[in-house]
């Protein structure tokens, strides 16, 4: 109930204050429950395993990934010593390792990723893991527990390999990109110098590709480039390299050739392979390209110069009717200047 205080203003009774406090308390509890629920959902959504302990090193929480990796459910593991649940040995010595949660609390600092650790699953099976841990503090700064994050090292290695592959290959054609090609070209030039043999670059630009893209759309244009990549790869040896330089341009590195004629024969083989008709979106299409060729050491011993000369020869082929191959000549440079 509310009563006036003489100034026509209501004043609170003890009962009203209690109701207000109860409402605040219920609201705070509801917010805490909601926050805790969101935390559980978040931890169960990530791909890493997460384990938490109290200040005595007893397990307080496992997310689903952690349950799968160690073989214990969250309910079963709760209250047990973390060393019994997250059992780790050194991969080289097979000696028991200090648990990262315990180390984090003893040293009162974050533990970076530990490599070379083997996790002993509940069923006795083993797998290499990478783990890290941090101590947890309360508002007073006291340590109240620890959080351990870990994952299967094999999966980590696979992801690293995937990232490395993606960084070096064209996503559309899966051919080496210009970064990987630059590395292979440098190595090929180095070997050619050391063993004193010839090598060649074949630079291709697809004829009328823009018209195909504009007429039939980018999806068909992408498929067109994929077919070109497949046909180019079928024209070379395993020791050679085909690179998508960008757009509709490709470069072929012939790492070792006997003569200039050998390189021109490969270029001719490429033109023939590309000319074979294929069906795309219900239409028959043929491929044609303008090709330029440069030779090491005949034209240059410098990687960038060889690439430039092959590009220049390709441009001359395009200017002189397309669907043909041109070998670099010094006079081509003079025509451009």
Q: Which residues are catalytic?
A: 248
Ranges of beta strands (E only) in the chain are 2-4, 10-12, 49-54, 59-62, 87-90, 111-120, 126-137, 143-152, 198-206, 241-246, 249-257, 278-280, 283-285, 289-296, 325-327
117 in helix, strand or coil? Answer: strand
CA distance 181 to 184: 5
212 in helix, strand or coil? Answer: helix
* Residues paired with residue 149 on neighbouring β-strands, in sequence order: 50, 132
Beta strands 143-152 and 126-137: pairing type?
A: antiparallel
Contact, 36 vs 52, CB < 8 A?
Answer: no
Contact, 188 vs 294, CB < 8 A?
Answer: no
């Amino acid at each position: 109930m509310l009563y006036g205080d003489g100034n026509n203003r209501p004043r609170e009774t003890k009962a009203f204050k209690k109701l207000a406090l109860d409402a605040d308390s219920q609201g705070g509890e509801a917010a805490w429950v909601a926050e805790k629920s969101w935390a559980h959902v978040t931890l169960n959504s990530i791909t890493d395993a997460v384990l938490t302990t109290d200040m005595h090193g007893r397990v307080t929480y496992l997310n689903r990934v952690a349950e799968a990796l160690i073989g214990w459910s969250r309910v079963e593991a709760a209250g047990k010593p973390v060393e019994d649940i997250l059992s780790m040995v050194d991969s080289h010595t097979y000696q028991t390792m200090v648990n990262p949660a315990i180390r984090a609390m003893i040293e009162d600092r974050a533990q970076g990723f530990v490599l070379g650790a083997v996790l002993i699953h509940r069923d006795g099976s083993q797998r290499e893991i990478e783990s890290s841990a941090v101590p947890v503090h309360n508002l007073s700064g006291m340590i109240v527990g620890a959080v351990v994050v870990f994952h299967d090292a094999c999966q980590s290695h696979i992801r690293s390999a995937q990232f490395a592959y993606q960084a070096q290959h064209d996503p559309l054609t899966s051919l080496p990109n210009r970064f990987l090609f630059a590395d292979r070209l440098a190595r090929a030039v180095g070997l050619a110098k050391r063993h004193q043999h010839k090598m060649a670059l074949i630079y291709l630009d697809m004829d009328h590709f823009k018209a195909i893209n504009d007429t039939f759309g980018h999806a068909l244009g992408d498929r067109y480039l994929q077919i070109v990549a497949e046909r180019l790869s079928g024209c070379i040896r395993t020791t050679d390299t085909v690179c998508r330089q960008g757009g509709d341009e490709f470069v072929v590195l012939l790492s070792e050739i006997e003569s200039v004629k050998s390189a021109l024969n490969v270029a001719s083989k490429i033109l023939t392979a590309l000319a074979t008709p294929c069906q795309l979106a219900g239409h028959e299409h043929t491929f044609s390209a303008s090709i330029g060729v440069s030779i090491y050491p005949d034209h240059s011993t410098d990687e960038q110069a060889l690439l430039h000369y092959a590009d220049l020869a390709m441009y001359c082929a395009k200017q002189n009717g397309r669907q043909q191959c041109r070998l670099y000549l010094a006079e081509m440079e003079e025509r451009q200047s």
